[in-house]
Chain A
């Protein structure tokens, strides 16, 4: 199934605006109703978007597991906006990018450290980093394949 960039834009924007609003990336049947296309086409658009971006479907299903910077499947990176926690970030790094979807609002990241469970807390608002606790927080990764994934696929969009 081929899609125009405008069709993919429409689906992507709807998925993103819904997850920003509700904390959940819509199922393809919900996307279908939201933009008035068939469920099959909605699923096809989602699958293409997932190919083009560093997200993924849960293996063997039609469920969106990850739609960066968010995750439908809960992770240890809990995101609160203006005190309300209903989002999960794809990973620790993508947690730092959630703020761009909530302009003018305070985005709080809370996670347990993977070594011992002691808390990490970060607050950001637009360009500002308001809180880093403890102030020694670091990030690391064994590989950077996920963020690099879209590079080779950009040319495939119809």
Chain B
């Protein structure tokens, strides 16, 4: 889960995996992904309860959908 200065650098990285090319996304896309509820709610005083409940499941579903290819 790394950031690179530009697409060409990412493709030259030793761990580059052509099968995961769809994960090569602009910073804004990853910033939006990591702005979904699973990440925003970590500051809650009941985070584990929240994560284990319906809202957490919904948040994880949203994240999985976004990260599905």
A-to-B contact residues, CB < 8 Å: 5-6, 8-9, 12-13, 16, 20, 49, 52-53, 68-69, 77, 91-97, 100-101, 103, 111, 113-116, 118, 120, 122, 124, 127, 129, 132, 134, 136-144, 146-148, 150-151, 154-155, 157
Contacts and interface: CB of A to CB of B under 8 A. Distances in A.
B56 to A, nearest CB: 7
Contacts of A9: 45-49
Contacts of A95: 3
Main secondary structure of the interface of A (DSSP, over half): mixed
Nearest to B22: A140
Contacts of A136: 5-7
Contact of B30 (A49, A139, A157): A139
B39 A69 contact: yes
B25 A140 contact: yes
B52 A154 contact: yes
30 contacts: A9-B47, A9-B49, A12-B47, A94-B1, A94-B34, A96-B27, A96-B31, A96-B35, A97-B34, A97-B42, A113-B3, A114-B4, A114-B13, A115-B9, A120-B3, A120-B5, A129-B27, A137-B26, A138-B7, A138-B24, A138-B26, A139-B1, A139-B30, A140-B2, A142-B16, A142-B17, A147-B67, A148-B64, A150-B60, A151-B64
